[in-house]
Chain A
């Protein structure tokens, strides 16, 4: 008896000490993951670089140095002394400024795409999952149909039909980003909606939408955060793909995909820095985002530990 009491007491005491919220717990787990922490710092540095990098640039991303046109291979190499740290591009523009601009656009596309997915996908999935029955099957059938469409082709079609602009790119990428999120959120909602606290809310006469917004959505935040973080690199890949083909961001603005394409096209002139700098930023960016997403998943999804 005494021993069980003691164990029980220890446990209770332990429970008091361990009175951590899900988020505190997740933060602790995340900070223990060295790779995730390292790549979070890298990501923050890249973001800071896109903000403060332009301060030490000699010219902005659209200024053309006419004396450099066609001479990038001979005298446009990266150089610390003249301030063109990444050299010139083939049209006599400062590659340093252009890489910053490209990175910024890529980050923007990723974040906006993920944000659209979070808002639309979460609400759509939560509504479908909560109401169930016919509403659910119709809503999910629509998602199935949209998912079966070859989106890259439709996206290019959209960009050609309407203006080829950043806004249109956002609309198109936003349109495809929320589908997977809706499916995941729906599954999660179905597993939550039969819990006692939802029943309690229903019994006390709370309306359906209030239940969804106040009781279901907050409980989905873990899954949504993880999936949204993993969506960011995917959106960046999509945008880079489109820009690589030349249908994305239009000049003088640029994005990493476009810079890689231009750099790759000029490889045989021996201007390899035009290829390597954007490629390096792209690879590091995507890599960091994947690791941060993985780290968040490990931290927020206790099942996977």
Chain B
């Protein structure tokens, strides 16, 4: 087990390194520097600015300094657009917001998805089953960028119950729409996965044995069937988490929640390369860590996985 974990970490570190190097060179391959403007600055001013941000050094040295800062001090450097703010400031401002609605969406998607899937499998071919299948098929065409406007139209413009955007420190009313918009399609996928694997488990021999022993239905479902049935769901949690972080790009731009996605898109439009790079690396690190944790969890729960 420990060897397996170490091996996964050994793959994760070069991945992150490659991501950092690729984003770094992408940033520097961009035509025109970050300080180009309509009116060209005098050469001496440009030289000063370049010296201040270390842009006059050879590229590999810049890369080294940057990576050293990120690894040793968790320092993503200064923002190119806002003189008084560092990338860390911008991330520290947006990240808690994204984590808050991301966390709630994740909870809603897994809890509702699993319950719906299990219920549908247990009541196979009942109305509940068809309802669950209908929802999960329908939600395929309702990704976050379709859900968000639909919710806004319903709750804000038609019913007038919820504010159309803003964050307000994470108030309940501001959380409802982002969480529903983000979680719907993942809830549907989790429900579908749970349903099909639960159906498979319920038809397997050991469940038949449990029934023959005379165990109650509740006991069979909760202490025998649910654990193996949730295995495929665990491997889906990694991608789901990544999807939620990525979805923040849409949620933030649409509901003006001010999370990390908004910072990313804003910096994309103003070509604030250092902010883009910092966020990409941070999200990459999170993605890789989360996938790794999901893998380890899977191997830990499923004895059939070869370590």
Nearest B residue to A237 by beta-carbon distance? B143
Q: Assuming the A-B contacts A241-B250, A267-B152, A275-B153, are A257 and B19 also in contact, with contact meaning beta carbons closer than 8 angstroms in the complex?
A: no
Chain A contact-residue range equals 35 or more
* B264 proximal to A (CB < 8 A): yes
A38 to B212 Cα, complex, angstroms: 44
Asked if B29 and A161 sit within 8 Å, CB to CB, the answer is yes
Nearest Cβ distance between residue B108 and chain A, in whole angstroms?
21
Most chain B CB inside 10 Å of its own CB: which residue of A152, A233, A240, A279: A152
Contacting residues, chain B, for A275 (C-beta < 8 A): 149, 153
The 8 A CB mask of B279-290 against A (1 = contact, 0 = none) is 110011001100
Task: Tell me how many residues of B have a C-beta within 8 Å of chain A.
Answer: 46
Nearest Cβ distance between residue A147 and chain B, in whole angstroms?
9
Nearest Cβ distance between residue B259 and chain A, in whole angstroms?
13
Contacting residues, chain A, for B141 (C-beta < 8 A): 282-283, 286-287, 290
Asked if A161 and B291 sit within 8 Å, CB to CB, the answer is no
Asked if A264 and B242 sit within 8 Å, CB to CB, the answer is no
Selected interface stretch from B10-18, B47-55, B69-77, B215-223:
B10-18
B50-71 with Cβ < 8 A to chain A: none
* B224 proximal to A (CB < 8 A): no
Asked if B146 and A268 sit within 8 Å, CB to CB, the answer is no
Contacting residues, chain A, for B140 (C-beta < 8 A): 233, 286-287, 290
* A247 proximal to B (CB < 8 A): yes
The 8 A CB mask of B169-200 against A (1 = contact, 0 = none) is 00000000000000000000000000000000
Nearest Cβ distance between residue A170 and chain B, in whole angstroms?
17
A159 to B268 Cα, complex, angstroms: 9
A279 to B249 Cα, complex, angstroms: 20
A283 to B142 Cα, complex, angstroms: 8
Most chain B CB inside 10 Å of its own CB: which residue of A153, A162, A244, A268: A153
A221 to B34 Cα, complex, angstroms: 47
Asked if A153 and B246 sit within 8 Å, CB to CB, the answer is yes
Asked if B26 and A282 sit within 8 Å, CB to CB, the answer is no
Q: Assuming the A-B contacts A141-B11, A149-B15, A161-B27, are A154 and B280 also in contact, with contact meaning beta carbons closer than 8 angstroms in the complex?
A: yes
A268 to B158 Cα, complex, angstroms: 10
Nearest Cβ distance between residue B95 and chain A, in whole angstroms?
14
* B202 proximal to A (CB < 8 A): no
* B300 proximal to A (CB < 8 A): no
Asked if A157 and B284 sit within 8 Å, CB to CB, the answer is no
Asked if A283 and B145 sit within 8 Å, CB to CB, the answer is no
Contacting residues, chain A, for B280 (C-beta < 8 A): 150, 153-154, 157
Asked if A245 and B250 sit within 8 Å, CB to CB, the answer is yes
* A160 proximal to B (CB < 8 A): yes
Chain A binding surface, main DSSP class: helix
Within 8 Å by CB of A247, from B22, B242, B268, B291, lies B268
Within 8 Å by CB of B145, from A145, A158, A241, A272, lies A241
Nearest B residue to A141 by beta-carbon distance? B11
* B46 proximal to A (CB < 8 A): no
A241 to B146 Cα, complex, angstroms: 9
Asked if B146 and A279 sit within 8 Å, CB to CB, the answer is yes
Nearest A residue to B272 by beta-carbon distance? A160
Asked if A267 and B245 sit within 8 Å, CB to CB, the answer is no
* A101 proximal to B (CB < 8 A): no
A173 to B264 Cα, complex, angstroms: 19
A interface, CB within 8 angstroms of B: 141, 144-145, 148-150, 152-154, 156-162, 233, 237, 240-241, 244-247, 257, 260-261, 263-264, 267-268, 272, 275, 279, 282-283, 286-287, 290
Known: A150-B287, A245-B249. 5 other contacts (CB 8 A): A153-B283, A157-B276, A264-B148, A268-B164, A272-B153
- A–B Cβ pairs within 8 angstroms, 30 of them: A141-B11, A145-B15, A145-B18, A148-B12, A148-B288, A149-B19, A153-B246, A153-B264, A154-B19, A154-B23, A156-B264, A156-B268, A157-B23, A157-B27, A157-B280, A158-B26, A159-B268, A161-B26, A162-B29, A240-B143, A240-B145, A246-B265, A263-B149, A264-B149, A267-B149, A267-B152, A267-B157, A268-B164, A282-B146, A290-B137
